[in-house]
Amino acid sequence: MALIIIAHPNFSNSVGNKTIIDELQKSDLELEFRNLHDLYSDFKIDIDAEQEALLRHQTIVFQFPFFWCNVPAMLKHWFDTVLAYQFAYGSEGDKLKGKNFLPSFTAGSLEDAYKPLGTHHYRISEYCKSIEHIAYFVQMNYIEPIYFHGSVHHYTEQTVKELAKNHSERLIKKLQELG
C-alpha cells in the first residue's frame, strides 16, 4: 500500500519518530518500511534496491526529524542518488509519475519559533519548498506534510509520545484516503 522511508541517525533513541513508526506497525495498513540508517550505516545506498522499492508502491512517506529546518543528511543523500536522471526525471525519467509524495516529520521547536520573530524566522512551509520542488520535478503528487511541534526539550517524553500518536492517527487517516 505505502512505502515508509525512515531517515533518523539515532532512531532507536528517538521518541517522536519511533512512536510514529510503532503506531504505523500496529495498524492494519499494508506498509513496507525502509530504515535508511539501518540499511546504509556507511551511506552506501543501494540505488537499484531503493528504486525497485519505489516501483512497488503508489504512496511514498518520508519519515524524519527536521534537522536545521531541512531533511537530515541521509535523506538528502537518498534524494541525491536514488532520484536519478532517466529514472525520476529526464526525457525517459517518468518512473515516479503520479505517485504520492508525503513528508511526515517532527519539528523540534514550538510553533512560535517558526515565525518571523521566533528563533527560526520562517514558517515550516517556507522550509519545505525544496522538498515540495522535488515532488514536482519527479512528477509526483505533493501531499501537504504531516508534522508536530516541540519534539525536542519542550515537553516530557510522555507528552511527545501523545503528540506522536496524534500525528500517526492523522498519517494513517491520510494513507487510508490515498488508498
- Applying the rule CB under 8 A, the residues between 42 and 61 that interact with a copy of itself are 42-43
Spell out, one character per residue from 106 to 145, where the chain touches a copy of itself: x when CB under 8 A holds, - when not: -------------xxxx---xx-xx--xx-xx--------
Residues contacting a copy of itself: total by CB under 8 A = 28
28 touching a copy of itself, by CB under 8 A: no
User: Binder to a copy of itself among 73, 84, 110, 178 (CB under 8 A)?
Assistant: 73
The three three-digit cell numbers of residue 86, written as one number = 532517466
Name the pairing type of β-strands 100-107 and 146-149: parallel
Residue 156, SS3 per DSSP:
coil
Distance CA 62, CA 75 (A): 8
Is the Cβ of residue 29 or residue 110 nearer to a copy of itself in the bound state? 110
- x-or-dash string of contact with a copy of itself, 143-162, rule CB under 8 A: --------------------
Residue closer to a copy of itself by CB (options 66, 148) is 66
**What string of H, E and C letters represents the secondary structure of 31-47?**
EEEEEHHHHCCCCCCCH
Verify binding: residue 76, a copy of itself, rule CB under 8 A: yes
Enclosing H/E stretch for 107: strand 100-107
Q: Is residue 88 classed as helix, strand or coil in its secondary structure? A: coil
In the list 48, 56, 68, 98, the residue contacting a copy of itself (rule: CB under 8 A) is 68
Helix (H), strand (E), coil (C) string for 48-67: HHHHHHHHCCCEEEEEEECE
The Cα-based distances of 65 to 17, 93, 118, 124, 163 in angstroms read 7, 29, 19, 13, 14
Note the residues at the interface with a copy of itself (CB under 8 A).
9, 42-43, 67-74, 76-77, 79-80, 83, 119-122, 126-127, 129-130, 133-134, 136-137
